[in-house]
A = this chain, B = another copy of it.
């Protein structure tokens, strides 16, 4: 059996480590900037690929991410596996009952959202081929059909990631968008399969188009109706008689792999199979929450970053960049897709705001376009410039989609008390023996952080305390006040070894004291912060550990891992 040489193995692990580390790092930075982390992950690939590293240090880049030979194939195989597993997770998260409920809206979004960009793309490529990067010598009809498809196909993986990042994936709108993207991409792949049929070439799959179409439809219908029922029974049996959770995990993952192989063989991409397998598996209550989380976390933080980073390795974005082509493709895609999907959503009965939400949700295009593009490039339907314009279009639409969704839907992140903590506001050991003294201690450390007078802060909090004591039980107290000169909330936290009486309902002395100052006009802030503190310290194990903290960082780390601490 052919094996990798030690040198190739060294390179493979260095490459994977570099990809994963940079993707996670830039992903975290993107998240800090309120962007979907997938954008950071794709950027990591562009930095490491031919565009930046390949230009600055071509030898290093070529050694680390070889574009030819065994190393390149292994990386390609691994990232294909990665995207297949990511779609499995996306599938598992889908609740079919919600999809049926949102079905009408989803179908309208998908159909209109597909029709408009497809017509625009085809018209542009057919009547203005030069503008769309058509190269003489290739088949004009096939080129036009391909561009139309590339502009109208959605990006299920990116859409899923953006919706997950925004915590919208299981909302009604999220489900509508995902269901629409599924319809959309199924149709898109069927059209692409037809293009391949038209091209008549031996493009790796030799099945007659009619066959592909009806097998795909049969497979999809089966996976959404009878297969979940069968799987539920199989999982029940496995859960009862095989080792746990190994039996269920092994079955779920091998099923996804087989389904991926099947759809790839059909001529539509492998990710469809694993997505539908995920949907079928996700309906069974025998796939326990814990098992879902295990698959989800490993895939989201190992495989997904690898895939998204690998996109940037495929091509030099600077050298093959054609501004007018890219702007044309981007304009057509954005206008066609967003407007089309929004109109479809309106037709399907969504209110305007949600319809535009669906429009921008569907607006994240390109992963599928990129995958199509890779194939189209191999088969000579398009040139490098068109490929780059498709990838840039994917990036820009993905970049716009998340923030626009946030804006249109007026999404706010729930506020956490740690967002308003600062290292100076943490007191490891409070000296005070009563509530008045500990409030003074905490006031003295947090007042300067907002340029306030410590005495005034202390008095305001004590005045509030007099109206009603703020011990909330479990040894936690939350003295607080609204304070006029404050731009945003401010929290201080201190620990008392002996405990201080805050007149709690359960009569325990408070050992964790959080002082909360909020601006007067912001009604939600105080309540959200109080609720977050109460929820955090409700966990007994976490409270116990909190008493043994030695630094502010440890406090943050403890609160972050929450009940799993």
Contacts and interface: CB of A to CB of B under 8 A. Distances in A.
A219 interface: no
Contact of A13 (B84, B374, B553, B562): B84
A239 to B, nearest CB: 3
Interface centre among A84, A257, A375, A378 (most CB of B within 10 A): A257
Nearest to A13: B261
A448 interface: no
A119 interface: no
Interface string A292-318: 011101101110010000000111000
Given A3-B76, A17-B261, A250-B24, A9 B270 contact: yes
A360 to B, nearest CB: 24
B72 A28 contact: no
A313 B1 CA distance: 8
B4 A77 contact: yes
A321 interface: no
Interface stretch (A62-70, A121-129, A458-466): A62-70
Given A12-B77, A249-B298, A258-B13, A7 B204 contact: yes
A564 B2 contact: no
A521 interface: no
B260 A13 contact: yes
Interface in A333-365: none
Closest 5 CB pairs of A and B: A24-B250, A240-B556, A17-B257, A239-B557, A74-B77
Determine which residue in A13, A237, A239 has the highest number of CB atoms from chain B within 10 A of its CB, and name it: A13
A3 B378 contact: yes
Contact of A295 (B288, B298, B300, B556): B298
A556 B78 contact: no
Instruction: Give this chain's copy count.
Output: 2
A290 interface: yes
A523 interface: no
A24 B24 CA distance: 31
A58 interface: no
Number of chain A interface residues as a range: 35 or more
Contacts of A9: 77, 80, 264, 270
A265 interface: yes
Contacts of A554: 236, 240
A404 interface: no
Interface of A: 1-7, 9-14, 16-18, 20-21, 23-24, 27-28, 31, 37, 67-70, 72-74, 76-78, 80-81, 84, 203-205, 236-237, 239-247, 249-251, 253-255, 257-258, 260-261, 264-265, 267, 270, 286, 288-291, 293-295, 297-298, 300-302, 305, 313-315, 374-375, 378, 553-557, 560-562, 564-565
A479 to B, nearest CB: 25
B236 A290 contact: no
Given A2-B69, A67-B1, A240-B556, A205 B7 contact: yes
A302 B264 contact: no
29 contacts: A1-B68, A1-B315, A3-B73, A3-B378, A4-B76, A12-B80, A13-B84, A13-B261, A13-B270, A16-B81, A16-B257, A17-B255, A20-B253, A24-B251, A28-B242, A28-B247, A73-B74, A74-B77, A77-B78, A236-B554, A237-B553, A240-B557, A244-B561, A245-B297, A253-B301, A288-B564, A289-B564, A290-B561, A291-B564
Q: By CB atoms of chain B within 10 A, which of A4, A6, A12, A241 has the most?
A: A6
A559 B260 CA distance: 32
Given A6-B267, A264-B13, A246 B301 contact: yes
B31 A243 contact: yes
A76 B69 CA distance: 14
Given A3-B378, A249-B302, A291-B297, 20 more contacts: A1-B67, A1-B68, A2-B67, A7-B205, A10-B264, A17-B255, A21-B250, A24-B251, A28-B242, A28-B247, A31-B243, A74-B77, A78-B78, A236-B554, A239-B560, A240-B554, A240-B556, A245-B301, A245-B564, A294-B297
A458 B322 CA distance: 87
A331 to B, nearest CB: 28
Contacts of A557: 236-237, 239-240, 286
Contacts of A84: 13
B76 A77 contact: no
Given A288-B565, A554-B240, A72 B2 contact: yes
